[in-house]
């Protein structure tokens, strides 16, 4: 059994209820640590008493079973869903050890189900048809809408019927490029209903990124809208789509249909550019279809969706999730990590273009029959109080967001928070990057008035759902720590050689054995799946993150250890930004690193070498940044361009990124050994140009 299990076993000998008494917590969890950052925040007795998991002991009991008998543990949970036909035996099969052959993970194989049916029809059958499924809040205050479970099902069925009518069948890819309109979850669910595989592309991606994804997954139809307002800006999405479709068509990938929703608060039909024969207005066709639609029953291991994410090479990876395990896992993690109850109103600020919006705006909450707030706009528009205005308006009880938002609101001043009531809040959540203790405390003390536990959920696009997360009310929190693993998850920390390290330590975060929500492959590239995730430390799934474990067994995520940067919770590969930069005709070479940023967590810092004879200028700087915005999207634009007449390279020609990181963060006395550089003089030259 895992290290973690041994640790929690030692906890379990203490009397139940002990978790609520500060003095005993110190005993259960080892000594309370002296430094401010490590203070234990103990859940109130009232909260714990009503929680699904009220104590470490309850957790331990379930956790132990989940590790000792995964098949039994997950089968019991899976039985609460609707299956047209029960899964076969074994309940799961896996090989995570590259030395033993091909990597494979399967859960509930042979089970026949449908995730859309479980989200909608099943909840309606249970009497929740008139419950609100989605509250939609528009970009501008006062613009809103809502859908009950019954209405949501009708809208999903109409779109599903339309898609079937234009020839979309089980297994076909459908690309969705939509902002946070209700039509985005509707489109995802409609695909799931008919067994089509959705591939949602975040609507902040540029036409070139979109084209790249179109060419990879070759959808028959693309679903978009004409425009969206975000804050004070109007973004013409359809123009971006037109460019992307033209580009992919040129390279041989022709998309037959572009279904376009008229988002008339942003742009009228008449002002939208149109390609006859290819483009269709959603409102002209979809409402004409019947509002019931039989579901396509699929195998648990049939694909549900593809979602592209960044890795350490230039080409985005199409992470593939299947149906049954993902369904069971997202629903269960949602329920426990947010202590979800049917009376909750839940708001997650993530966009459905990222995994958080898949698992915890759409599937996880709807599988639980929850009421979800979907917000189109920016959380600081028209002013920094908007988030709390929305919380009060809908009586949000569970609020899930990213540290970058917490930090940016923190800077605006407490009065933007305190002028709202926020008394509906009972659980807070954080995701996307480590949350620094000071932001954690502000979120906890001010926003949640010290009454709401914070679920700092560590997970990834690849993991499908939460991996390491507090369970509210179950144990004391430490600001900045994701605490303990979810049921069924065995995190291990390994050293460079891949040897598990015990006790208090830090190293590379890996996971031993599979869990139902794990991704099954990278679309069209199983080999890359194996080499990226299962080769560095044979026998384990390697997350790409660093992690330390303290003497109390709490986990502290320390950030990516590969060439991936995390900007405002967005994962960006340095190689992607570099390849965008060098596509500029005046840029010869580029090296991109992440530097610490007060609000964004990290920001992008790019060193560029220009083509011989080209002088560096402010115009060129702007044009380089524009190139990245055009190729990837505005969110990937470098904050700093640093002109580098040459880059520090070893004699074998390898760029020494370690040195670049130090120069970028101005830690000039920590450059380390630079004697192996082909030309150590380069370093002084770069430093001299640093603030130019
Ligand atoms: O570095 C970790 C960070 O985000 C990465 C995953 O990014 P992505 O696949 O885009 O998914 C983001 C939403 C799940 C991880 O490798 N990360 C995510 N959550 C946390 C985190 N780092 C620290 N603490 C977290 N709670």
Q: Give 606-637 pLDDT, tens digit per residue.
A: 999 999 999 999 999 999 999 999 999 999 99
What is the pLDDT at residue 577? 96
Q: How many CB atoms lie within 10 A of CB 443?
A: 27
Pocket probe mutation, ligand 1, options 337, 431, 533, 562, max atoms within 8 Å of Cβ: 431
Q: Which of 4, 28, 33 is nearest to 17 (CA)?
A: 28
Q: Is this complex scored with an ipTM above 0.90?
A: yes
What is the pLDDT at residue 25? 41
Q: Which of 563, 607, 565, 564 is nearest to 582 (CA)?
A: 607
Considering the entire predicted model, what is its pTM?
0.94
Q: Give 13-54 pLDDT, tens digit per residue.
A: 443 333 333 333 443 444 444 334 457 898 999 999 999 999
- From the CA of 571, give the closest atom in ligand 1: 10
- From the CA of 564, give the closest atom in ligand 1: 1
- Pick the residue whose CA is nearest to atom 4 on ligand 1: 432
- Pick the residue whose CA is nearest to atom 18 on ligand 1: 432
Q: What residues does ligand 1 touch, defined as CB less than 6 Å away?
A: 309, 354-356, 430-434, 456-461, 482, 543-545, 557, 559-560, 566, 571
Q: How many CB atoms lie within 10 A of CB 433?
A: 22
Q: Report how far ligand 1's centroid is from the alpha carbon of 308 (Å).
A: 15
Q: Which of 692, 492, 567 is nearest to 7 (CA)?
A: 492
Q: Report how far ligand 1's centroid is from the alpha carbon of 413 (Å).
A: 27
DSSP per position, 70-134: HHHHHHHHHTTS--SB---SSSEEEE--GGGSS-EEEESTT-EE-HHHHHTHHHIIIIITTSEEE
What is the pLDDT at residue 6? 54
- Pick the residue whose CA is nearest to atom 22 on ligand 1: 433
What is the pLDDT at residue 8? 53
83: region left, alpha or beta (phi > 0 left; psi from -120 to 50 alpha): beta
Which one of 562, 618, 679, 691 is the catalytic residue?
562
Active site residue 562: yes
112, 302 contact by CB (below 8 A): no
- From the CA of 468, give the closest atom in ligand 1: 26
Stated length of the chain:
692
Structure tokens at 388: 């709390």
How far is it, in rounded angstroms, from Cα 433 to Cα 354?
14
For the chain, which ranges sit under pLDDT 70? 1-38, 692
Q: How many CB atoms lie within 10 A of CB 347?
A: 26
Pocket probe mutation, ligand 1, options 437, 460, 464, max atoms within 8 Å of Cβ: 460
Q: Report how far ligand 1's centroid is from the alpha carbon of 400 (Å).
A: 14
What is the pLDDT at residue 227? 98
Q: Report how far ligand 1's centroid is from the alpha carbon of 484 (Å).
A: 15
283, 261 contact by CB (below 8 A): yes
Q: Report how far ligand 1's centroid is from the alpha carbon of 543 (Å).
A: 10
- E-assigned strands of 397-499? 398-401, 427-430, 454-456, 490-494
Structure tokens at 173: 């890819």
What is the pLDDT at residue 203? 97
Q: Report how far ligand 1's centroid is from the alpha carbon of 320 (Å).
A: 17
What is the pLDDT at residue 174? 98
């Amino acid at each position: 059994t895992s290290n973690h299990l041994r640790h929690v076993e030692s906890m379990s000998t203490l009397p139940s209820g002990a978790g609520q008494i500060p003095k005993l917590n110190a005993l259960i969890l080892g000594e309370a640590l002296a430094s401010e950052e490590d203070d234990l925040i103990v859940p109130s007795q009232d909260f714990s008493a009503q929680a699904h998991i009220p104590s470490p002991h309850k957790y331990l009991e379930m956790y132990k079973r989940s590790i000792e008998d995964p098949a039994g543990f997950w089968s019991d949970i899976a039985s609460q869903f609707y299956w047209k036909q029960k899964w076969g035996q074994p309940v799961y099969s896996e090989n995570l050890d590259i030395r033993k052959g091909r990597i494979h993970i399967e859960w509930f194989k042979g089970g026949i189900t449908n995730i859309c049916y479980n989200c909608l029809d099943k909840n309606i059958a249970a009497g929740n048809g008139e419950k609100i499924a989605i509250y939609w809040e528009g970009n501008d205050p006062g613009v809103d809408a809502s859908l009950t479970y019954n209405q949501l099902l009708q809208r999903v069925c109409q779109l599903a019927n339309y898609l079937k009518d234009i020839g979309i069948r089980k297994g076909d890819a459908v690309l969705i490029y939509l902002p946070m309109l209700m039509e985005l979850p509707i489109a995802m669910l409609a695909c799931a209903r008919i067994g089509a595989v959705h591939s949602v592309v975040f609507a902040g991606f540029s036409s070139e990124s979109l084209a790249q994804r179109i060419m990879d997954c070759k959808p028959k139809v693309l679903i978009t809208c004409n425009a969206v307002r975000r804050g004070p800006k109007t973004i013409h999405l359809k123009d971006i789509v037109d460019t992307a479709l033209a580009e992919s068509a040129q390279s041989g990938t022709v998309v037959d249909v572009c279904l376009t929703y008229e988002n008339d608060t942003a742009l009228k039909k008449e002002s939208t550019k149109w390609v006859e024969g290819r483009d269709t207005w959603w409102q002209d066709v979809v409402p004409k279809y019947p509002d019931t639609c039989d579901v396509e029953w699929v195998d648990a291991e049939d694909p549900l969706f593809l979602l592209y994410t960044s890795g350490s090479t230039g080409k985005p990876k199409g992470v593939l999730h299947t149906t049954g395990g993902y369904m069971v896992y997202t629903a269960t993690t949602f329920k426990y990590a947010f202590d979800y109850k049917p009376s909750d109103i839940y708001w997650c600020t993530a966009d459905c273009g990222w995994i958080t919006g898949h698992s915890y705006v759409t599937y996880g909450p709807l599988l639980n029959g929850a009421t979800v707030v979907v917000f189109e706009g920016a959380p600081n528009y028209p002013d920094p109080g908007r988030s709390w205005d929305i919380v009060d308006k809908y009586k949000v009880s569970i609020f899930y967001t990213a540290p970058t938002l917490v930090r940016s609101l923190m800077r605006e001043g407490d009065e933007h928070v305190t002028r709202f009531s926020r008394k509906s809040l009972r659980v807070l959540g954080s995701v996307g990057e480590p949350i620094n203790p000071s932001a954690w405390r502000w979120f906890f003390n001010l926003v949640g008035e010290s009454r709401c536990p914070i679920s700092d959920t560590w997970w990834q696009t690849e993991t499908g759902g939460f991996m390491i997360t507090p369970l509210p009310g179950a144990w004391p929190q430490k600001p900045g720590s994701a605490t303990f693993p979810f049921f069924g998850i065995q995190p291990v920390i390994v050293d460079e050689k891949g040897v598990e390290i015990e006790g208090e330590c830090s190293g590379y975060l890996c996971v031993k054995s599979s869990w139902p929500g794990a991704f099954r492959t990278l679309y069209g590239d199983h080999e890359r799946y194996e080499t990226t995730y299962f080769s560095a430390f044979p026998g384990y799934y390697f997350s790409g993150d660093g992690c330390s474990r303290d003497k109390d067994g709490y986990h502290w995520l320390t950030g990516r250890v590969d060439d991936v940067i995390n900007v405002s919770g967005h994962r960006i590969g340095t190689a992607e930004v570099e390849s965008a930069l060098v596509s500029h005709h005046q840029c010869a070479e580029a090296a991109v690193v992440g530097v610490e940023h007060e609000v964004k967590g990290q920001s992008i810092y790019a060193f560029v070498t220009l083509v011989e004879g080209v002088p560096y200028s402010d115009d060129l700087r702007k044009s380089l940044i524009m190139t990245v915005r055009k190729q990837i999207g505005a969110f990937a634009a470098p904050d700093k361009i640093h002109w580098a007449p040459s880059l520090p390279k070893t004699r074998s020609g390898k760029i020494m990124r370690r040195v670049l990181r130090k120069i970028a963060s101005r830690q000039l006395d920590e450059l380390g050994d630079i004697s192996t550089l082909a030309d150590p003089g380069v370093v002084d030259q770069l430093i001299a140009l640093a603030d130019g």
